[in-house]
Structure 1
Amino acid sequence: MVRKQFVVFGLGRFGESIARALSEAGSEVMAVDVKEELVQEASVYATQAIKADMTDVEVMRSLGIGDMDVAIVAVASDMESSIMATILAKEAGVPCVIAKANSEMHAKILKKVGADKIILPEKEMGEHLARTLVSGNFVDIIELTSDFSMAEMPIPKDWIGKSLIQLNIRNKYGINVIAKKTGDKVQINLSPTELLEEGITLIVLGDNKCLEKIGKKNDNQ
């Protein structure tokens, strides 16, 4: 299976969480920010971590992002950087550009300069809550792209007492388990031989169609 390639512009809380989750799911991630300390932190988990001023056209063009599948522009607080990153990602030929906006006007500008999907936090939170409420199989769902989400789900009954390696989840179901949650405690980097216990929830990442199938599996138990 060919690994999807993502570039994430802006490594604040939103951008960092997406870059980290995508990396842990096995995707190739280029993480870009103007702040050295954020780039250093990202170098631990990202395929590439690059310090770059997103308003510098020549620097941005030198990144070579044309082969990326998705660009995520997560610098909503800096309108100039978000607009430039969006324009240059589309200019480079990135097929899907997702940009975070901090207002309806900002969203309209990003859409005009080529963003394929806009994330408006307050609007998204309302839609996100509605989607979670109507999907009884999941505790929580975060849509990363139109066809790719991160979800928190109760452990299916027939997974209890088995390990990730026994279940072969990635190959069998097309999703990646990135963490488990026991109460408020979250454990990442699960050992493939660790037995999954009753009562936990799993944080998974995958294609929405695959998540829908695993949700129906929980429905039938």
Structure 2
Amino acid sequence: MAFIQYAVIGLGRFGSSLSQELTQLGHEVLGIDRDEEKVDEMSDKLTHTVVADATDEEVLRSLGVRNFDCAVVAIGDNIQASIMAAILLKELGVKTVVAKALTDQHAKVLEKIGVDRIIFPERDMGVRVAHQLVSPNLLDYIELSKNYTIAELVVSRRISGLTLKELDPRAKYGCSIVAINKTDDVIIAPTAEDVLHEKDVMVVIGTKEQIDTFESRAIR
């Protein structure tokens, strides 16, 4: 895993959780918040923390944020501050700017100012949990775009012992198995002759409808 420097602006529930996880994954994280109490709480958990106003260009410049690989605007409830911080980060030349959106309108503005990735943490998590609840074989679900989804599906007893050629998800359901995670190995780009065994985890790509159909008709 490549070492990446992150700046996380906003240390509320989402920002603090994100920044701690990035730190535990071995990356350098600078946590920025106006609230001194929040900064103090995170001071021993992140690489660096600072009490600062991220809507002030000179402050961001003095912190050297332009040298970070990625900046995440995780400001919780102030849309104006979120947009202003994102604009400044783009103007300062941060390589990748990610921002949390609170509403669809907020997301549209962030998109127009050139934010590289916009996330809806609560909505996205809700979608993933909903899919996991209704699909017993689904381990994870990530929307790649408006059209395509990638999902992790557990091989059931019903299809155990079949080769990918016999299962043929592309021809029958329109989706593709791009990897198989076995207990002792991961097969990337499996061939038609690879055999599925119960409890293997298939990484499947396709539209939501294709994956739902595959899971309900072939696996259950």
- Per-residue CA distance 1:146-172 (angstroms, 9 max, x = gap): xxxxxxxxxxxxxxxxxxxxxxxxxxx
1:66 and 1:47 map into 2 onto residues whose CA distance is 17
Aligned residue number for residue 85 of structure 2: 85
- Tell me, what secondary structure is at the counterpart of 1:55? coil
Q: Give the share of equivalent positions with the same residue, in percent.
A: 45
Residue 11, structure 1, aligned to residue 25, structure 2 = no
- Superposed, 1:1-221 pairs within 5 Å as 2-129=2-129, 132=132, 136=137, 138=139, 216-218=181-183, 219-220=199-200
Q: 1:216 to 1:91 in 2, by over 3 A?
A: same
- Deviating runs (4+, > 3 A) in structure 1? 129-138, 140-143, 218-221
| Larger radius of gyration between Structure 1 and Structure 2 | 2
Unaligned runs of 5+ in 1: 144-211
**Contact 1:102–1:121 at 8 Å: present in 2 too?**
no
Offset of residue 55 of structure 1: 2.1
TM-score of the pair, normalised by structure 2: 0.60
Q: Over residues 32-62 of structure 1, what are the superposed CA-to-partner deviations in whole Å (9 max), with x where a residue is unaligned?
A: 0001111111110111101111222211221
Offset of residue 89 of structure 1:
1.5
Structure 1: distance between partners of 2:39 and 2:24: 17
* Partner Cα separation in structure 2 for residue 25 and residue 31 of structure 1: 15
Deviation at 1:92, TM superposition (A): 2.2
Alpha carbons of 1:135 and 1:90: their partners in 2 closer, same or farther (altered >3 Å)?
Answer: farther
Which consecutive unaligned segments of at least 5 residues does structure 2 have? 144-177, 184-198, 202-220
